[in-house]
Amino acid sequence: MAPTQREHAVPQTNIALYPHWQLIFDKYDEDSDGKISLSELKQMILSESFTKDIPEHTVRQIMKRADEDANGYIDYLEFMKMVIAFLWDVIAEGTSSVNGPAATLFVYNPFKRYEAWRYSTYMFVHVGVFHLVVNLVVQILLGIPLEMVHGWWRVLLVYLAGVMAGSLGTSVSDPGVYLAGASGGVYALIAAHIASICLNWAEMTFAIYQLLIFFVLIVVDVGTAVYTRYVLLEESQIGYAAHLAGAVAGLLVGINVLRNLEIKSWERKVWWASIILYTALMLAAIIWNAAFPSYFPPSK
């Protein structure tokens, strides 16, 4: 269903460019007047954070920072800027905390699966500086070499496929787990390197050694996950299901979109098999989410 469009929000051309933001804005504009008042802002923060109350002066600070034209309310464009910049978190928490209002709006929350944007926006939320830095470093080390060979848009498709697969895979395998971080996309990049090596084996130098390096990384990660969960019986905060799902998506989508320097007959069959398998897995996860709500935690 198309989002409601109001004369008080922003011009039609701008709204059309950001339909998902408009849906989020509409959710918190309780009186449907095209703007978010101080009371609506407070309710928005309380509904998306883990706190039961927030000081009035803090809400006023957030309003003051977000209300760029100082007219006493937040319009659509101001709202979009506020969320993107994570101003809520910085003002209310003094840091971009995972418990801050903006972070809890973006994180994958199993109790709010109906808010579809969470299946992708969780990649913007990280649990602390170390988590963020590690993901950034890995993305730089793995993403740039891929971009140099295959182009940025192919790498972007692989990355986003991994992010979506990470949240959908987690929702099916661990239905009560919250999810934050870009690990689904990061593991998609790792698997995309494997796809690239396999597709261009004859054209690459030291292909066997590169493949062995990635194989060792995968074995260590999977081994650690199995040992932690099934031997030590510890509840880890690491989303291993997202890692695995992201890697599978990166491999399958990588085979489809990455450059193949010399296409062989058997590779065409692998291409079709990978696209069919990826589509089937994603559809199965989406249908499972939609058709079996009793399997998941109740919405709130």
pLDDT (tens digit per residue) in 84-130? 555 445 444 445 455 566 677 788 988 888 888 899 988 988 777 77
Closest among 92, 94, 90, 95 to 45, alpha carbons compared:
92
Residues labelled catalytic: 183, 243
Residue 2 lies in a domain: no
What's the pLDDT at 90?
46
Instruction: Give the residue among 129, 3, 106 at the shortest CA–CA distance from 49.
Output: 106
**Residues 165 and 289 reside in one and the same domain:** yes
pLDDT value of position 205: 73
In a domain, 118, yes or no: no
16 and 3 Cβ atoms separated by less than 8 Å: no
Domain assignment of residue 114, yes or no: no
| Residue 238 lies inside a defined structural domain of this protein | yes
Q: 23-59 burial string, b = 16+ CB within 10 Å, else e?
A: bbbbebbeeeebbbbbebbbebbeebbeeeebeeeeb
- Residue 3, in any domain of the structure: no
Asked if 91 and 205 sit in the same domain, the reply is no
Q: Are residues 276 and 155 in the same domain?
A: yes
Pair (264, 139) in one structural domain: yes
Between CA 286 and CA 288 the distance in angstroms is: 5
Q: Are residues 251 and 154 in the same domain?
A: yes
* Domain stop point among 106, 121, 150: 106
Q: Does a structural domain hold residue 7?
A: no
40: in domain: yes
The 8-class DSSP code of residue 272 comes to: H
Residue 33's CATH number: 1.10.238.10
All residue ranges of the chain with pLDDT < 50 are: 1-18, 50, 87-88, 90-94, 96
The pLDDT of residue 102: 66
Residues 102 and 158 in one domain: no
* Token pair recorded at residue 46: 């309380």
Instruction: Tell me, yes or no, whether 148 and 287 share the same domain.
Output: yes
Cβ atoms of residues 142 and 186 within 8 Å:
yes
Domain of residue 19: give its range.
12-106
178 shares its domain with 101:
no
Mark whether 274 and 172 lie in a shared domain.
Answer: yes
C-alpha dihedral (68, 72, 75, 79), degrees to nearest 10? 60
The reported pLDDT for the residue numbered 4 is: 38
Number of domains in the chain: 2
Domain-located, residue 124: no
- Name which of 150, 146, 14 is nearest 78 in CA terms: 14
Same domain as 90, residue 166 = no
Q: Which neighbouring-strand residues pair with 108? A: 179
- The answer to whether residues 142 and 281 belong to one domain is yes
DSSP 8-state assignment for residue 74:
B
Contact 82, 24 (CB under 8 A): no
Give me Rg for the CA atoms of the chain: 22
Residue 279 shares a structural domain with residue 248: yes
